[in-house]
Structure 1
Amino acid sequence: MRVRAAGIALLVVAAVACQTARPGTEAAPVASTSAGVSPAASGSPTPTPAISATAQSAQCGQRITADFLLANDMTCTTDAFVINADNVTLDLGGRTITGPGMGPQTWPLPQLDSVGVRTGGHTNVTIRNGTISQFSTGIYFVDEVKSRIEDVTSERNRFGFYIHASSQNAIRRSTVVGNVYGLHLQDSNDNIIEGNNLVRQTYNSPGGFGIYLYRSTGNRIVENTIENNVNWGIWFSDAKNNTIFHNNVAGNSPQVSDNNPDANHWYDADKKEGNWWADYKGTDADNDLIGDTPYGILGPGGAVDAYPFVARDGWRKKTHSTIDHYQPPLARPPREVRLVVVSGGTVGIGRPHDSALAPTWVHASSVAVQTDGRTLLALDGKALTAWDLTGGEPTTRTVAIDGGIVGANRDGVSALIVGPRGAQQIDLTTGQQEFFDYGGAPQELAPSYKHNHIFVATPRGVELLYLNLGGRTPYTVPLDGPAGAMSMNGSGTRIYTAVRGKNVIDVVDTEQYAVVQRITIDSEATAIAVSPGEDALYVGTANGVLAIDLGNERVRARTSFLGSVVDLAISPNADELYVALAGLQHAVAVLDTAALRTANIIPLQADPTKLLAASY
């Protein structure tokens, strides 16, 4: 197997490298208190004192090569300021600079049509004391080192602050409010984010994040208010070894997600103090202002804030040391598994080590399992059946979409049906239905964790079907060919997609909306499953099954069958892999995940078309 990386950061760097500074005039030199001061050899910069300079008027596109104090408000159609030197301070003097608007959507690339202040490749730069509004990006750092943003308000921009490939910088006492994206760190390490208000980012999907870290390491996020953002308050994607404590996190939807289990530190280990989460449900029996139970961080692996505060700004009110109640969680007991197999147009159900599946009266062309792990959704033409496999009677509803694929919305209560002539969402508790325009050719579905859009595998690529925008598909992630089998990881940050007619699996970053990795295998993939811990990828082919270690990107086991693999499922305990076989062998094979040894073969009467593992 050969893995080829295609990081989106390379595209961003290339795009930025091709840009030149906007035309404008050079700033007149003024007396400087920071020029000539060498930054510390390591670590983040210290706060910069106010400059001693005479306020001056500026023109849009002005280049800054020495300390500058702004004397006037500005309205610009392109960039306002471009910093072209080390060791300078741009003091906005409490003024407001206003741009031409946020410009079109460019995600996953930064939007640089107009920037309030941009600086790249410099050291010891300070931007402070003013308001930046209605630009594509408020402040843009690229390849910046030991620089600062202090006391700046960034509002109604597409990106509030975009920090790219930059290190050892500090962002302090600033307000990022009402932007599409709040504070964005990409490939940026060892920065301090301290004492900021990251609030009310307004646009949803993509966007609405308070703070987003992508492939960023060693950052310290302390004493910020991250509140009332319409999407994630804190979103980490491939971010590691970051420390997050003494933050107020409230009213975001959802509050937080981290796709790297145990890779980040959600509390101060020395003080045993974490963050205040407004939705924390625990108690504080000993009145030390620290909850007696941990706060769970959404994502795989069970990361936690072990010492959550029970009051806003609790670290300022705390009068004695934390009484340590934290105990690492015990291993979850094994969960009961039921295999759900569609074979010959009907559903069969059984345990992994049964000799045969029990037939049911349920007919289906497409099936899914709700987020509770036990409610089966079965679609047959326009008949949608919901069935709690632990007991109770199945209920059937008539849907409007014919020839569709069913999926389970991540909200836990809705079913999604997507067909070539429309899409539909049904609330299974109230029966309320919504309809959306759609005209694609769906092959597979992966509902987003944001609840308001679906990733749809099609011959054109992976489409984003927006449910809150009337069913628009504003973007299609291009693949290396028509999409085939598709599987999303448990934290919702990666989609693994087979490419029809090619021996490659494209890995899509669901936040970057781009292929960020390509995994080459020895034959075309016909089925894909991701382990619950997101550390292994199981790939079915016409020849058998491969187990790929996602840590070192190598095939660690393989096995062969007489039949062709048409679908895969994995147990929630990650100890068993289930393989649906068609052609020369109609069966479900049960394998151990460690070595792909066969533990059981369940024969079928006809070729299977779909396999699920329900659990409870």
Structure 2
Amino acid sequence: MRPLVARFGVLALTAAVACQAAQAPGPQASSGPSASAVASSPSPTPAASPTVPYPSREGTCAMRVSESFTLANDMTCAGDGMVIVADNLTVDLGGHTLTGPGMGPQTWPLPQLDSVGVRVGGHTGVTIRNGKTTAFSTGIYFIDMVSSSIESVTTLRNRFGFYIHASQKITVKDSDVEFNIYGLHLQSSDDSVLTNNLLARQTYNSPGGYGLYLYASSRNRITDNTIDSNINWGIWFSDAKENVIFHNNVVGNNPPVSDNTEGSNVWYDKQTKEGNWWADYKGKDADNDSIGDTPYPILGPGGMVDPYPFVAKDGWKTKRRSTIDHYEPAAARPPRAITLVALAGGSAYTARPGDDRATLRIPDVAQIAMGTDERTLYAASGKTVMAQDIVTGETRDRSSYSVDGIVAANRDGHSVLVVGPQGAEQRDLTTGQSEFFNYHGSPEVLAPSYKHNHVFVATPRGIDLLYLNLGGRTPYTIPLDGAPTAMVMAGSGTRIYAAIAGQPLVDVVDTEQYAVVDRITTDVVPTSLAISPREDVLYVGSTSGVEAVTIRDRSVVSSAAFLGSVVDLAVSPNGDQLYVALAGLSHAIAVLDAPRLRVAHVIELDNDPSRILVASY
């Protein structure tokens, strides 16, 4: 079955075409260039390469195109610019501009199709070339397309620049994608070529700000593009596999890249051993082969790298010698020192994995959270939050907040969040500045987003999206299959796992699609969850024990039974140990070898625990 997003897109396209077929021709396009279009154009329309000429004709808005032609005029439209309704044709925009009514409201994760510059679906052999689309919901929208192309087109100030959806063998080349909310977007699209494009300065209206986004798209070839100054990710891959990426300039994005698929995508040309130019690369080129002597790390859980990064922009154009291969896969990371932190009986306790009994660390504590540095403990008592270094014992901050609620560390590394039913507050610990947000939900668990500007809040009605850059507005709640009893975010930030109350079920939420994209059926009713650092094993706690379930095939590879009830789980940084907080007949922390789940040690607690964290340093 086609994913919900794809099916929605087909329905939207079909409805639009049917509606246009039933109506009289749309309003006549303006005969001259739009003043707003001219004013908003930061870059000239790409120069057209020599092409076969087609008959010239005047265009009208919402026109249905069934044969090749060259557009003879600019168009300013209240809806779609044009809809392609046949195979094997070329629309040459003739250097003209299609201007729409504006980008329309946010519809993520669904495509925004209120107005489309060029809309085409279910066809093959279609080429759109030599012009500009601006101020539409989507500049160009392909769905269910095969062997088609976009060439020498500028698209700017749309919500989506180019949206390639459920398509195969698409070429996008020699085009400029600038100042959109989303740049070049591939959704469930495979075997395509993206080459010699400028993907730059996409703006931020969360979610957004991406230069290039691939979701569930495979075997695409991405070369010779400049991905420049996008306000969010330059390149974001989510469930994108077997793609090849090399000879791209990536500069000024924040952050440059993320890939959540381990060992699948190839960030260099295997034949020449040449990768990409990353502007923030700090390595050296001691042998003057234009290639850095150390790899460039690709953000994400798989530890991927570009092993052959260039040290200068467009380095492949001036390279004069073969690559001298210095790359060696990184050695296994040595185990780090670990301190466990447990919330038990209204106090925070600490212990090393080999200790027999935990030590009282901070009395009178209602909530605990670990900082992104993995060594700063945030402990809340009422409306006061203390920040303490687990290693040195130094209290770095003690602040009063205006709300009482759940505590979490924001992903920016220097802010603390408190979210309660009467509001939310974020405090920057480096500046002391505090901001209040008018939130009125029922928070139970927090998962700050990697984008720093919003938080996923588990509530009985689903997962609220609490937007910190919109005054705490909650524009959307991700529906689940029931109230969540536990929630954990994967290390890459692209998946949330939510245990459903009273059901042997875990919902899998895509944090980019804002939707449940999968479900994991378990043998038990989960009470707690943890995910391995490699994101390949889900640990499921219950009233009777814990199971290790593989993400790929959902098989239970091991299990352990306990007399006490499992109330929380945590995993060591290198994934070799699972820590199990036990309450009831036992109040202790069980240390298990992972993923085999053999009990290696038990740490006694004075009271039943409710939370367990891992500090590593």
TM bucket (normalised to shorter chain) is: over 0.9
How far off its partner does 1:12 sit? 3.2
- Paired AA for residue 510 in structure 1: T
Residue 237 of structure 2 is matched in structure 1 by 236
How far off its partner does 1:114 sit? 1.1
Matching of residues 493-504 of structure 1 within 5 Å: 493-504=494-505
How far off its partner does 1:26 sit? 9.4
Residue 214 of structure 2 is matched in structure 1 by 213
How far off its partner does 1:48 sit? 9.1
- Paired AA for residue 55 in structure 1: S
SS of the residue aligned with 1:424? Answer: strand
Establish whether residue 80 from structure 1 lines up as the match of residue 81 from structure 2: yes
Q: Deviations over 1:467-518 (max 9, x none)?
A: 1111111111111112221100000000001122322111110000000011
Q: Deviations over 1:371-406 (max 9, x none)?
A: 111111111112211111121422342222343111
Establish whether residue 276 from structure 1 lines up as the match of residue 277 from structure 2: yes
SS of the residue aligned with 1:147? Answer: strand
Give distance in 2, aligned partners of 1:361 and 1:128.
66
Residue 40 of structure 1 is matched in structure 2 by none
Residue 12 of structure 1 is matched in structure 2 by 8
Matching of residues 28-39 of structure 1 within 5 Å: none
Q: Deviations over 1:246-291 (max 9, x none)?
A: 1111111111000012210111111111111111111112222211
Residue 487 of structure 1 is matched in structure 2 by 488
Greater CA deviation, 320-329 or 248-257? 320-329
Residue 419 of structure 2 is matched in structure 1 by 418
Asked if 2 retains the 8 angstrom alpha-carbon contact of 1:246 and 1:273, the reply is yes
Give distance in 1, aligned partners of 2:16 and 2:252.
40
TM-score w.r.t. the length of structure 1 is 0.93
SS of the residue aligned with 1:524? Answer: coil
Asked if 1 retains the 8 angstrom alpha-carbon contact of 2:291 and 2:309, the reply is yes
CA RMSD of aligned residues (A): 1.8
Give distance in 1, aligned partners of 2:424 and 2:520.
32
Q: Deviations over 1:562-585 (max 9, x none)?
A: 111110000111111111111121
Q: Deviations over 1:427-478 (max 9, x none)?
A: 2233222222211111001011111111110112111111111111111111
Q: Which runs of 4+ in 1 moved over 4 A?
A: 24-27
Asked if 1 retains the 8 angstrom alpha-carbon contact of 2:9 and 2:111, the reply is no
Residue 158 of structure 2 is matched in structure 1 by 157
Residue 368 of structure 2 is matched in structure 1 by 367
**Structure 1 residues 140, 149: closer, same or farther in 2, change over 3 A?**
same
**Structure 1 residues 148, 6: closer, same or farther in 2, change over 3 A?**
closer
Establish whether residue 609 from structure 1 lines up as the match of residue 606 from structure 2: no
How far off its partner does 1:223 sit? 0.6
Asked if 2 retains the 8 angstrom alpha-carbon contact of 1:68 and 1:89, the reply is yes
SS of the residue aligned with 1:169? Answer: strand
TM-score w.r.t. the length of structure 2 is 0.93
Residue 200 of structure 1 is matched in structure 2 by 201
Give distance in 1, aligned partners of 2:397 and 2:370.
15
**Structure 1 residues 589, 250: closer, same or farther in 2, change over 3 A?**
same
Asked if 1 retains the 8 angstrom alpha-carbon contact of 2:5 and 2:111, the reply is no
Greater CA deviation, 526-535 or 513-522? 513-522
Asked if 2 retains the 8 angstrom alpha-carbon contact of 1:108 and 1:513, the reply is yes
Asked if 2 retains the 8 angstrom alpha-carbon contact of 1:64 and 1:82, the reply is yes
SS of the residue aligned with 2:11? Answer: helix
- Paired AA for residue 11 in structure 2: A
SS of the residue aligned with 2:520? Answer: strand
Q: Which has the bigger relative contact order, CA under 8 A and spacing at least 6?
A: 1
Give distance in 2, aligned partners of 1:590 and 1:567.
13
SS of the residue aligned with 2:57? Answer: coil
Asked if 2 retains the 8 angstrom alpha-carbon contact of 1:26 and 1:63, the reply is no
- Could you tell me which of 18, 23, 33 is aligned with 2:20? 23
Give 5+ residue unaligned stretches, structure 1: 28-46
Residue 67 of structure 2 is matched in structure 1 by 66
Matching of residues 437-476 of structure 1 within 5 Å: 437-476=438-477
Give distance in 2, aligned partners of 1:331 and 1:315.
32
How far off its partner does 1:525 sit? 1.4
Alignment coverage as a number of residue pairs? 593
Identity of aligned residues (%): 60
Asked if 2 retains the 8 angstrom alpha-carbon contact of 1:180 and 1:208, the reply is yes
**Structure 1 residues 361, 187: closer, same or farther in 2, change over 3 A?**
closer
Asked if 2 retains the 8 angstrom alpha-carbon contact of 1:477 and 1:514, the reply is yes
Give distance in 1, aligned partners of 2:49 and 2:497.
47
Asked if 2 retains the 8 angstrom alpha-carbon contact of 1:416 and 1:423, the reply is yes
Asked if 1 retains the 8 angstrom alpha-carbon contact of 2:448 and 2:455, the reply is yes
